[in-house]
Chains A and B, each alone.
Chain A
Amino acid sequence: MSTAIVETINVTREIAWLPWAVSYFFLIGLSCGAFLLSLPGVLLQRPGWEAISRLALLAALVCGLTAPVALLADLHQPGRFWHFYAYFTPSSWMSWGAFFIPVYLGGLLVYAWLAFRPLLAEHGRSGGRLARLAALLACGGLESRRALIGAAALAFAGAALVALYTGAELMVVRARPLWHTPLLPVQLAITALAGAVGLTLLLKRLAGDADASATARLARTLVATQCAALAVGALWLLLGLGGLSAVHAEALAEVAPSANWQLAALWAAGATVATLLLAWKRPASGVLIGLLALHSAWMMRWSIFIGGQEVPKTGAGYYSYQLPLGPEGLMGIVGTAGLWVFVFILLTTVLPLDRLATRTRSSH
């Protein structure tokens, strides 16, 4: 930082994408990642993946149903959300996103319903809590493989489009060098998948599923995602340091002098390495690596969104953000988490966790 210039009067621009946006990107990322994890067991019926994939599908549902609420809350005019559909603007990735989200969620809901119908019927017959609702939802509980494949294909296309638009929406913002990198969408996708593995590990423990081979399988997936995350991070740094890419050099020059950023970068690298080592050397530490992976996914988004907006575009130094306690800050995050828990409880009442986690589906 040059000490020859001291700014005496200037505007401090506030953060305009609030923690709601972090919550949205976190949840929609987890949902898409968890949907991918649901495919091997639910769709492809790969042995050893059944319980993992059903739990992952539950995670995809809970996160997918919560995410749009956070997105809506980030609008300063939430009541005008219909404008997205009335005034489609093809030059804007956000405008496309408004159409991709329903494609993904629609596909996901149908896919999940088709996948869970037999389980819903089973719960309906067992006479537990909300059994009548479960029976009603099951609609006879038939399995239809062809419909399942179709719905999975739709959800897959939707998930790919959501991953594309969320990444591109940030990447095109040239005014923010930190966002304006083609590596950002890749980093978002990798950390989302890692976070989804983490969430599935937590659900697995919550379900009381002690199947060590499944935990090991998830730990191996986590080793792969963390290796990929570190490789992309290293590439970003190399491109910036080596001056190979002007965009990355600019991004690096912008954040490198900040002590906050140095700490965040060290923290992110440290957490990723720790997750990698634990998942590799002690694959049985399911809850710990799960929490670490979720934490990394959240921190990465927080630093990119909130940290990125702390860099003035014309002014000197940095803006400093303090998390407000109200709905635009902490209460928003807590509220989103509360909604997540509510949806989770609702879904696991008609689809009890232990039933999802049983290794092979009991026949009916």
Chain B
Amino acid sequence: MKHPDLTHSSAAPSPSRRAFLRGIPVLTAAIAAPAPALAASAGHHWAMLVDVRRCIGCQACTVSCMQENAVPEGSFRTVVSTYSVALEGERQPAGTYVLPRLCNHCDNPPCVPVCPVGATFKRADGVVLVNSERCVGCAYCVQACPYDARFINHDTNKADKCTFCAHRVDAGLLPACVETCVGGARVFGDLNDPDSELRRRLDAAAGQVKVLKPAQNTDPQVFYIGLDERFAGKVDGQATLWKPRAAHP
């Protein structure tokens, strides 16, 4: 059941999660148009839809990404941020909110213009990549990304981040995280293909689709359904105590 039909989604979340989702009504104002209009060219425009309602927070995506891309221990190209949220007027005191995060492959990516050697670039098909032959490891792009999506890879000493698994996509495969997503929360596809599942799901959810930090005008190409406003920017809450680098020096 990799991409279950949304109409049957009542089978997915556990009772407690459903209770929690009732506690956090999904705000639906946000961005009007879910995605850029069909491009004039016939080329692909890769994008991802994350249906937060379907994510079970299992981190299968996190692990498969590390395996697929040889991400060093303690670093992450994708992670499912997990929050414990106090509930009011519910039988249980708190619920869990999960938010898969990755590079947004922004259409207006602030990481690109700052790169002093032109190593970070956006492909015509929308994927933002780092040319590791050219990267000098100055980390300016790490500073400029508003989503903390980038890091310096300690094995390569170069900038690193999610590539949408471009090596797999170019070979006709899905990104590893999408392939392994247990809840079917991650949908990857071509925005320019009107028949793609991505396009259909985005169109079906029009008005409910949001992006992270829209005020930054980065034009993210990772879209969310079920994104609670309190998690769309810098989260106001108590910080996690687990420090990956301290655990794996």
Q: Which residues of A pack against B, CB within 8 Å?
A: 1-14, 16-17, 74-77, 80-81, 83-84, 86-87, 89, 91-95, 97-98, 169, 172-176, 179, 254, 309, 311-320
Interface residue B191 (Cβ < 8 Å from any Cβ of A)? no
A3 touching B238 by the CB < 8 A rule?
Answer: yes
Given A5-B84, A76-B152, residue A87 in contact with residue B237 (CB < 8 A)? no
**Residues of A contacting B147 in the complex (Cβ-Cβ under 8 angstroms):** 313-314
A7 touching B239 by the CB < 8 A rule?
Answer: yes
* A16–B141 alpha-carbon span in the complex (Å): 10
A-B contact pairs, 17 of them (CB 8 A): A5-B236, A7-B238, A8-B82, A8-B96, A10-B81, A14-B151, A16-B151, A77-B136, A92-B115, A97-B116, A173-B143, A174-B216, A313-B146, A313-B147, A313-B148, A315-B148, A318-B239
Q: Which residues of B pack against A, CB within 8 Å?
A: 57, 59, 76, 79-86, 96-97, 101, 110, 112-119, 134-140, 142-148, 151-152, 157-158, 212-213, 216, 230, 233-240, 242-245
Q: Which residue of A lies closest to B97 (CB)?
A: A5
A12 touching B237 by the CB < 8 A rule?
Answer: no
B113 touching A8 by the CB < 8 A rule?
Answer: no
A-B contact count (CB 8 A): 189
**Residues of A contacting B80 in the complex (Cβ-Cβ under 8 angstroms):** 9
A1 touching B116 by the CB < 8 A rule?
Answer: no
Q: Which residue of B lies closest to A246 (CB)?
A: B215
Q: Which residue of B lies closest to A91 (CB)?
A: B113
Q: Which residue of B lies closest to A76 (CB)?
A: B137
* A317–B238 alpha-carbon span in the complex (Å): 6
Known contacts A4-B86, A9-B79, A10-B81; 11 further A-B pairs (Cβ under 8 A): A3-B238, A5-B85, A5-B86, A5-B230, A7-B240, A8-B240, A89-B118, A179-B143, A314-B147, A315-B235, A316-B236
Choice from A92, A311, A318 contacting B140 with Cβ under 8 Å = A92
Choice from A1, A3, A315 contacting B81 with Cβ under 8 Å = A315
* A127–B230 alpha-carbon span in the complex (Å): 74
B237 touching A94 by the CB < 8 A rule?
Answer: no
Measured between C-beta atoms, what is the minimum distance from A67 to chain B in Å? 16
* A212–B172 alpha-carbon span in the complex (Å): 78
B138 touching A74 by the CB < 8 A rule?
Answer: yes
Q: Which residue of B lies closest to A13 (CB)?
A: B148
Measured between C-beta atoms, what is the minimum distance from A337 to chain B in Å? 23
Q: Which residue of A lies closest to B240 (CB)?
A: A7
B234 touching A80 by the CB < 8 A rule?
Answer: no
B116 touching A2 by the CB < 8 A rule?
Answer: no
Q: Which residue of A lies closest to B98 (CB)?
A: A9
A175 touching B136 by the CB < 8 A rule?
Answer: no
B239 touching A11 by the CB < 8 A rule?
Answer: no
Q: Which residue of A lies closest to B132 (CB)?
A: A77
